[in-house]
């Protein structure tokens, strides 16, 4: 069974204080690892897809990296508007045509001004 564990559960940063979120995963054959952002009362908003170990993706202050066992979401010089829950999800390559996502519980990030 696919498993995704995210840490920490909550993270409070000061504006400009860089940090990283962790996503550890267990999957038989990784097809893709996805990072989403979720604001209160909203659906997950897609950020990045990573397909193979060593891959990196960047978008503004966010950078996602992938190894064979975990992924990191690095946040550089965060701003208050980066406050949200960040979700990690994996897609098992054995899924055939459906490719469902298995999510972690998320990391609640709060950035104080």
In the complex with another protein, which residue's Cβ is closer, 63 or 95?
95
Of 32, 35, 26, nearest to 3 (Cα)? 26
Binding residues vs another protein (CB under 8 A):
31-32, 34, 36, 41-46, 49, 87, 89, 91, 95-106
What distance in Å separates the CA atoms of residue 108 and residue 87, rounded to the nearest whole number? 9
To another protein, the closest distance from the beta carbon of 48 in angstroms equals: 9
Nearer to another protein (CB atom), residue 35 or residue 78: 35
Q: How far is the CB of 15 from another protein (least distance, A)?
A: 27
Q: List phi, psi (to 5°) of 82.
A: -80, -5
C-alpha–C-alpha distance, residues 4 and 87, integer Å: 10
Residue closer to another protein (CB basis): 35 or 65: 35
């Amino acid at each position: 069974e696919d498993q995704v564990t995210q840490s920490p559960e909550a993270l409070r940063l000061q504006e400009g204080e860089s940090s990283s979120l962790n996503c550890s995963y267990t999957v038989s054959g990784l097809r893709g690892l996805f990072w989403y952002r979720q604001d209160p009362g909203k659906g997950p908003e897609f950020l990045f897809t990573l397909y193979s170990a060593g891959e990196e993706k960047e978008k503004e202050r966010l950078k996602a990296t992938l190894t064979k066992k975990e992924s990191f979401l690095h946040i550089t010089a965060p701003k208050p508007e980066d406050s949200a829950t960040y979700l990690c999800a994996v897609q098992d390559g054995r899924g055939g045509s459906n490719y469902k996502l298995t999510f972690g519980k998320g990391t609640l990030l709060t950035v104080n001004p």
